[in-house]
Structure 1
Amino acid sequence: MLSVPNEGLVPLAPTGLRREVLGFWEVVAQSVANIAPSATPALIVPLAVAATGNATWLAYVFATTALLLVTFHINQFAKRSSSPGSLYTYVAKGLGPTWGVITGWCLVIAYLIIGGSVLAGAANYIKVLAHLFVRGHDVPLTVFAMILVAAAAWYVAYRDIKLSTQFMLALEFLSVSLILILAMAYFLKARTIIDPAQFSFARLHISDIRQGLVLAIFSYVGFESATALGHEAKNPLHSIPRAIPLTVIAVGALFVFMTYTLVLAFHGQKPPLSESNAPLNVLSQLAGIPVFGIVISVGVIISFFACALACMNAGSRVLFAMSRHGLFHSSAGDAHKVHATPHVAVNVAAVVVLGAPLAMFLSHVAVLNIFGYLGAIGTFGVLFAYVFISLASPRYLKSLGELTGVVTFASIITILLLAIPIAGSLYPIPAAPYNYLPYIFLAMLAVGVARFAYLRLTKPGIIAAIQKDLISELLPAAEV
């Protein structure tokens, strides 16, 4: 494994990353920012409403429940060990290196592709903001916006993880506060809170919830990314297991509330919520404060930027851990001698995060379609990773002699719940190009699996080396 000399500037973990520099709220900031909570009411809720209608808030309740169960399995590992490898190292401990590598690939695809998705989201809202003052020049404006947001996120991720998480915490607090203020302003003007249409389930079909659940889970993608800060978090065996469920519960409550609010507010509106490309701006008008739309657009852009930064942070650390195990070029497993960040892996992450949406836009794919397509592909990555961690949890506890019936039962229920959005993305067959996206994800995953198969043939000792490195990198409680 590669090592970085301690220059005396910061305490370093054996991996060369800074050790125990992030407080609890900075750990929370990583997970919250990776979710980009402002993105859901800004762009994802309209897509979910198109599939689920008035019951969209219920899809978010189900998604929150399912992901709290996933959190339960993640925490079986997080409270016992910590590593920058996130679920990759957890699954490797439970199911073995092969399944760990597959999970690692799922996470790398998810974080970097979703980073590209939110970059498109940021560009869309920068365009919305610009259109309040001037029309035209959309192509150069979009290209400039993508490059600007990606470059800023890269710079912060490259320089300092503590600065990065503090920045994300402040940005997300600001953007969420603005959205909640807007919602309260709407209710004060509308003087109505109860919407009977959203509590009428007579015409509700399971297939509607199933399709909406795919998009609802997309809203939560990255909630587990705090686990990638295993060496950089203070007291990680306590802070990370607390941060993850808190994130899911708090953000879940926000999603249910804002979904309910938007569906209520858009009754009778033209265009309807399912066709709106800036629903929060419309909500500002309905609340009687149209000028607040400018502030909200800035807040949403901030949230998208924070998410792009969080995706680079998490994706680069999984890439960093896998590179140290020989699964990528060894240079991506190196840490910066001064900044103590996985700088090469951050560079790779930034190139992918910017390159994917930029190439699609220059190929004449609409910005909102880029957001949807890349988001869907990335969601498949985390769904499979969540299934694997739910399988790994009971196996891991059994190896420790700590398995209980509750864990086994929770594993079965979690996998069944996760199967719903996976099946919902395949059948009924969605319209093109969404019907092709699962197979694009599988093709990307196949590249990683093929690479690992090749390494197993050419380097027969790689499995033993990974297992040895996992033991040395997972910090036991006594060392934390």
Structure 2
Amino acid sequence: MSYTEIEPSTPVTAPATGLRTGALGFPALLAQSVALISPTMTAALIIPLAFSSAGSGTWMAYLFGTGMLLFVAYNLNQFARRSTSPGSMYAYIGRGLGPVSGVLSGWTLIWCYLFIGIAGMTGFTIFSREVLSLLGIHSAIPSVVFFVILGVAAWALAVKDVRLSSMLTLALEGISVVCILALAFVVVFAHGVHIDTDQLTLHGTSPRGMSLAVVACIFSLVGFESATALGGEARNPLRTIPRAVVWSLVIAGLFFVVMSYVEVYGTRNSSASLDTLAMPLNTLADLDNVGYFKLPIDLGAMISFFALSLSCLNAGARLIYPMARHSVFPAALGKVHAANATPAAALTGYIVLMVGVPALWSSQTDVLTIFNDAGTLAAFGFLLAYFMVVVAAPVYLRKLGALSRPAVVGSVLAFVFLLVPTVGSFYPLPPWPVDLFPYIFLTYLLIGAGWLWLAARRRPGILAEIEADLEAPA
């Protein structure tokens, strides 16, 4: 495999980044964000968690959560409509709050996409085993085998062609969503249309329960911003990226509202409560005597989780790549594949982490626990990154002389709304070891700050160079 390291002073026929510009249109960018949100993941595993708090109001919690994050998207798009670059959210926050905040936000998002990617790997493993079981193959294949298979396939696709890998994620997620919606149609319409009045009236739902459920709903929707990471390769990025950010949220949010209504309605007369079901979609298929849906749904979930990990790999590597070019990370991670114009070195380093971490973790616990814990760990990072971009937006607009009253109101509302899942993450105090997770994330942040301090000591002026590069016209 051949690589080309693109130095800032090296003339190139493509853009100075060395990546392939104009490769990704709106569908590919939408695919990136939708795949990272992973609608299948929520329908298959997370809605029961939200139901445990909100009960009949689960659909409303998802509607409210989607509305909350649209305010975050509004602030994010203040940047996306005006500038673009590889790893854009890192660049956005750097432009608003300075290079230190920018680097720490990039460091944070690397954490986020790593653990969401790990959740994708464990979800792939869970549903791969379920598919094998439905096919009559009962084999104790070690989890690490599934991790390696997914990792190698995702890496090969990501290095080969960013457009191919992005469009493939859309196709894979689309197949899975179609299978799930087909089951939902059977559940709702097979026995005549019956309105679930308990859900429409939010029967038995308390404000406290709704606030806790919103935490799970917000975590279902994180990842909508990941299209910004592909800013250096987008076609008409100032138009297509903002659209991808908003539409990924709207599409996923509406899907979650529909599926939460269906799952609550479909399991109402089940002997087991929805919040106790490990495979709620399979249970719905059995309850409605359409067991033949289980195989395509589980197969769809399996490939959806593959798409989730692939999208995390693409997004995470495109954060590492500009940070390596800015000398925050070793220069070797800033190398580009000579033929494919993809950040191959960053992709290689990131996939090693995405496979290695769960491989070691699985020696201590089961994959379902890893899935839950990885999602929780990622959530802390996403919340911090969203807070930073919400604060950075009005500062950035003020620098440009474009600050308006709606922009200030949008920033304040987004900040207040983000407090809901933040407080819900800490109160009531979660059980051990989840109560330690905030401190693990804080330790990671301190390591990042220490790493940046050492980089600045080794190369005085690095922060000024980063700031000058981020402030340069996109």
1:72 aligned onto 2:74: yes
- Assess, with a 3 A threshold, how the Cα gap between structure 1 residues 366 and 470 changes in structure 2: closer, same or farther: same
**Match of 2:23?**
21
Aligned to 1:478: none
- Correspondence for 2:373: 373
How far off is 1:185 after superposition? 1.5
| 1:54 paired to 2:56 | yes
Give the unaligned 5+ runs of structure 1. Answer: 476-480
Taking the aligned partners of 2:278 and 2:203, their CA distance within structure 1 comes to 29
Q: Counterparts in 2 of 1:33-432, with a 5 A limit?
A: 33-134=35-136, 136-138=138-140, 140-201=141-202, 203-363=204-364, 365-432=365-432
Query: What is the identity, as a one-letter code, of the residue corresponding to 1:244?
Result: V
State how far apart, in whole Å, the 1-side matches of 2:202 and 2:267 are: 19
Structure 2 letter corresponding to 1:368: L
Q: SS of 2:362's equivalent? A: helix
Q: Does 1:457 align with 2:453?
A: no
Q: TM-score, normalised by structure 1?
A: 0.94
Q: For 1:109 and 1:371, how far apart are their aligned partners in 2?
A: 15
Q: Is the 8 A contact 1:4 1:337 kept in 2?
A: no
1:2-21 mapped onto 2 (5 Å cutoff): 2-3=5-6, 12-21=14-23
The CA deviation string for residues 184-232 of structure 1, in whole angstroms up to 9 with x for no partner, is 1111223244212223446433332222222211211211111011111
Offset of residue 159 of structure 1: 1.3
Query: Cα offset for 1:180?
Result: 1.0
Please report how far the alpha carbon of residue 141 of structure 1 lies from its aligned counterpart in structure 2 after TM superposition. 4.5
Q: Is the 8 A contact 1:150 1:350 kept in 2?
A: yes
Equivalent residues of 1:2, 1:15 under 8 A apart: no
Deviations 1:355-413 (A, max 9, x none): 222211122x1211111100111111111111100001000000010101111111111
Q: Please say which of residues 48-57 and 340-349 is displaced more in the overlay.
A: 48-57
Distance in 1 (CA, whole Å) between partners of 2:274 and 2:204 is 19
Cα distance in 2 between the residues matched to 1:30 and 1:190: 37
Percent identity (aligned): 39
SS at structure 1 position matched to 2:113: helix
Q: Is the 8 A contact 2:56 2:199 kept in 1?
A: yes
Shift of 1:170: 1.3
* Residues 463/428 of structure 1: CA separation in 2 closer, same or farther (3 Å cut): same
SS of 2:6 mapped into structure 1: coil
**For residue 302 of structure 1, what is the amino acid of its counterpart?**
I
Is residue 56–residue 203 contact of structure 2 (8 Å, CA) maintained in 1?
no
Q: Secondary structure at the match of 2:435?
A: coil
Secondary structure of the residue aligned to 2:39 is coil
In 2, distance between residues paired with 1:170 and 1:51? 33
Aligned with 2:466: secondary structure? helix
Tell me if the contact between 1:4 and 1:16 (Cα under 8 Å) persists in the aligned partners. Answer: no
SS at match of 1:270: coil
Is this contact kept in 2: 1:284–1:292, CA < 8 A? yes
Is this contact kept in 1: 2:56–2:204, CA < 8 A? no
Shift of 1:416: 0.8
Q: Does the Cα contact within 8 Å between 1:207 and 1:424 map onto a contact in 2?
A: no
One-letter amino acid matched to 1:453: W
Q: Shift of residue 434 of structure 1?
A: 1.8
Looking at structure 1, the residues matched to 172 and 7 of structure 2 have their Cα atoms a distance apart, in angstroms, of 32
The answer as to whether partners of 1:182 and 1:287 remain within 8 angstroms in 2 is: no
| Distance 1:452-1:80 versus aligned 2 partners, 3 A rule | same
Query: Once structures 1 and 2 are overlaid, which stretch shifts more, 431-440 or 391-400?
Result: 431-440
Does the CA contact (< 8 Å) of 1:127 and 1:141 recur in 2? no
RMSD over aligned CA atoms reads 2.0
Secondary structure at the residue paired with 1:271? coil
**Residue 116 to residue 165, structure 1, CA distance change in 2 (3 Å):** same
User: CA–CA distance in 1 between the matches of 2:442 and 2:194?
Assistant: 44
1:124 aligned partner, one-letter code:
I
Give the secondary-structure state (helix, strand or coil) at the position aligned to 1:114: helix
For 2:208, give the aligned amino acid: S
Determine if contact 1:2/1:324 at 8 Å carries over to the other structure.
Answer: no
What code does the residue aligned with 1:386 have? Y
Q: TM-score under structure 2 normalisation?
A: 0.95
Query: Would the aligned equivalents of 2:55 and 2:205 in 1 still touch at CA under 8 Å?
Result: no
SS in structure 1 opposite 2:291? Answer: coil
Instruction: Output one character per residue of 1:82-108: Cα deviation in whole Å (capped at 9) or x when no partner.
Output: 111221100000111111111111100
Q: Classify the secondary structure of the residue corresponding to 1:231.
A: helix
Deviation by residue 1:419-460 (Cα, 9 ceiling, x = unmatched): 111111111101222212222222222211111122233433
- Note the C-alpha offset of 1:2: 5.0
Is the CA contact (8 Å cut-off) linking 2:92 and 2:389 kept in structure 1?
A: yes
> What is the aligned residue count?
470
Q: Deviations over 1:131-183 (max 9, x none)?
A: 22346533x25332222112211111111101111211211221111111111
Contact 1:52–1:212, Cα closer than 8 Å, also in 2: yes
* Letter in structure 2 aligned against 1:46: P
